[in-house]
Structure 1
Amino acid sequence: MMILAALLLAAAEPVCAVPAVLDEPWTSWTRSGQATAGVLAHGAPALILGKPLTAALSPAAQVQFRVAPGKGAKDGYGGLFSLSLKQAARVGIALSGPAWVDVVTGDASIASVEHGHGPDCSGIRKIVWFDLRAGRHLVQIVGSKAASVRVMAADAQANHPAN
């Protein structure tokens, strides 16, 4: 039984001799700044498109989420970030570890339009995509088992600039 579990774990996590080379919009993924995620919406640190952060999270029970998170409201660690957009965009929120991510506009949670994993050996555990209008949004992370996570917001059009 233990051998089977080890084989399943090995199949789920690729062994990487070299990190993956990432395409746009993720090319800056490994160049992280540092931040402490907010516990209140007011004063939450900003996510800037294309600028990853390694974020210190707080126990989720201490975070005042604007709307109830989709999963794990009181589990693990979490935090809040602001995200401002000058124009409407499809935005991907990438995380380095397992956690739930919501985007809130006003007092409403925005439904994701797509989700998946990052490339093998990239360090991107998951990417959740949202179609967002111009303006200010709140990014809620919750349910992380780790007290820190790398997070990055990216515009899907970063690899397809307008002519």
Structure 2
Amino acid sequence: MASWAAPQKMEAAGDSKAAARRALAAGQAVTLALLPTPKVAYPLRPNKPGGSVSYGGIVRFRVDQPGTWRVALGSGAWIDVIKDGVAKASTAHGHGPDCTGIRKMVDFTLEAGDYLLQVAANGDPDVTLLVTRIS
């Protein structure tokens, strides 16, 4: 989680086809520029899609080793991790350590392969996030 202090800039995609060209590097925090919710065609409808004044987007990431993977967010945005058109169930939720700027952490048990991460219902046009393997 050391890269949280120096996130790289990245733009989210508005659909899964464009997300194939937006690869998030595991272990590297990013400040993700999001799109207004009406401009995002989510592959799966988020449980909390947000309204017309919220922001969202989609990126791709690769899991090279199976295990527990964590998505850390600087906001309370809704996230889904998707593989082969199916949302993966989260295994744990928590808050980040005090004074880090990490507001939310969600864990998933993932196999090796390519995944989509969809961000929804964010109140701001960008969000800092990190996807990393924790075990």
Question: Given the two structures, how large is their TM-score scaled by the length of structure 1?
Answer: 0.77
**1:73, CA displacement in angstroms?**
4.6
Q: CA RMSD in A?
A: 1.2
Query: Partner residue of 1:38?
Result: 13
**1:41, CA displacement in angstroms?**
1.1
Counterpart AA for 1:52 = A
Instruction: Mark the structure with the bigger radius of gyration.
Output: 1
Query: Partner residue of 2:27?
Result: 50
Residue by residue over 1:50-93, the C-alpha shift from the partner in whole angstroms, topping out at 9 and shown as x without a partner, is: 10110110011211111111213545100101011122121101
**1:48, CA displacement in angstroms?**
1.3
Between structures 1 and 2, the one with greater strand share: 2
Alignment of 1:96-115 (within 5 A): 96-115=74-93
Query: Partner residue of 1:138?
Result: 116
Misfit runs of 4+, over 4 Å: none
The runs of 5 or more residues in structure 2 that have no matched partner are none
Query: Partner residue of 1:119?
Result: 97
Identity %: 34
Counterpart AA for 1:63 = V
Structure of higher RCO (CA pairs closer than 8 Å, 6+ residues apart):
2
Aligned partners of 1:57, 1:73: CA distance in 2, in Å?
Answer: 13
Query: Partner residue of 1:66?
Result: 43
Aligned partners of 1:86, 1:47: CA distance in 2, in Å?
Answer: 13
Aligned partners of 2:96, 2:59: CA distance in 1, in Å?
Answer: 21
SS in structure 1 of the partner of residue 2 of structure 2 = coil
